[in-house]
Structure 1
């Protein structure tokens, strides 16, 4: 058994090494599967065989909400306008449940302390990967933005990168802002934090900035007088970018939330507003059941938006699965936010647990600006949250 645990631990180390490598993917049928997902499949299979097909499920009302939401999404595929996309979305959500079950079953077995080590590994990998991308885009390609492709400059995949940054930066902040014995660890992680912040800056995602910013604000409220550290950190970050950035990047930062571009045809903000207005119109036509899972792209193409998706998971669910689906989705995401804030008070001095809860807050808030409910980062965090709640219940008897 000890040998088995050591080998599973090595697989989890590999998983967190490859987790930030968003562009390392393998094509499989209509999907592109990441290396980290393949490693997770290996962990799940090995674990299930070793434990004679015994799988643990958390006892929590959130689990029921998740499965009812998934069942409603599957029902929506029966009358979808695009059966291929519906099938793809359902498989991706099933993968999501698989991720959280695999994560939960490992971390409830007195393995939660390992999360510190896994996070540190992920910090280093992400810092090296993002540092390489920053070098390629800013110095080799000579452009003023950041993308995922390292062979040629493109903004393709920018949203995936921004979602990852919203996932990891709150954990990095939690480590730096928590009083821990090892100052060497903070010094080690500081350069990787700066690299992640630079990546967020050059990705220029309003949604990611808002998600991280609101998460820090919630921490300030919970921390009370201790929140001064967070305020100082925010001021240092903003001041540094304004003082040391080139003119065009300084203007970009200062105008990040400006509405001046709103009237410009094709601007990001005007496009999102147009898609939101379209969503309202489509919901009014089929309010209860929606148009069917995976139908939004077909509808946006018919209405002059070139097959684009909604850039907002709440709008997407409302259009495709109706008001019933939207209520289930709000219960799902709302419960995640509630539980994160609730347990943040208990674990405010444990950086890895606080980091997890802050990460959940940031990425769930980001769903207002992106379509990422099927993301590995969301479902990984759900599995870790369930494990944390289960361990908390064991501690209090």
Structure 2
């Protein structure tokens, strides 16, 4: 029977392809497909089922409209869909499958009936299981269903770009294995650390804020002006450690509080405040606002940057059990990126600070920071339609080694030609 069924399926599908190939190009269109999207959690599997209305109408033998499926036909379609979805654990026990309230959504230009899906194991612990699914395909031989895992912390699947296709269900293949007990917390930890590295490494605003804090670190504030520090490089390095630690303390605190749901702030004001923090740090780099002000700015505005970091974690839809691991991993990624920036830039800044070139360099970079921050503030406050410097910012962030190398080359040239005594007036 199985061989005969497979042969019949192949024959029907081949006939369909033949008819489709002979049809006029104007009348040809892609076949609608169903989708099953799964989010693997510790005690349950969540997700959704996406059913194209045109294929669903053929399967149930009814005329279906976007309004009708949510009206009189609601109960019939819910019962029909629920009857054709089941899950079985590796021990043979059935898992509870429930559908939420359906809605109609346009996907790839086609109206779909979408049901939230929840699958719960009887013992409350999600392990590998087999998903059995034949909605539509039990009547429509040519229909395809794409099953995808879009979230599984232990396997490092946390966002859309990481989604993994499990396989394709059709008339001949109506079940597939879902690997829900693979991976480990270490994989999720490493992935979230990578997210932290990616978020800061690609965030021009976070990087520019850190750079504005580092520029005055080799100097001392005296009489409302910056002056070259008559100290050893070790003392200057200690100042840098203080700045980086203050920023880490600030953003770590609000990152933990916001990710835990203790505090919340809308994203737009947060992003605008981040741009403002760059402006403040840039002004401080030109003229000291207060002695050791870069440490105060770092910890104060670090609180704001932490809220922005938390918004990304909030978008991941984490389980409470994986939240601590995610916070640690994400924060580790942030700190590693900051340390890399310090390692790339600080030796050159320390060398430049001993030359007559540094005042002009410091003010020039700070002015660029002011211009960028002003543009960001206007855009994020919806006062302008876009950022005219976005292309430049993207290029700079995309070429960190070239930027660091250019500053290093300037430092070497200035150190050879423009070296000054240890104590010199600054701007």
Q: Which has the higher helix share?
A: 1
TM-score (norm 1): 0.23
TM-score (norm 2): 0.22
Ranked by relative contact order (alpha carbons within 8 Å, sequence separation 6 or more), the top structure is 1
Larger radius of gyration: 2
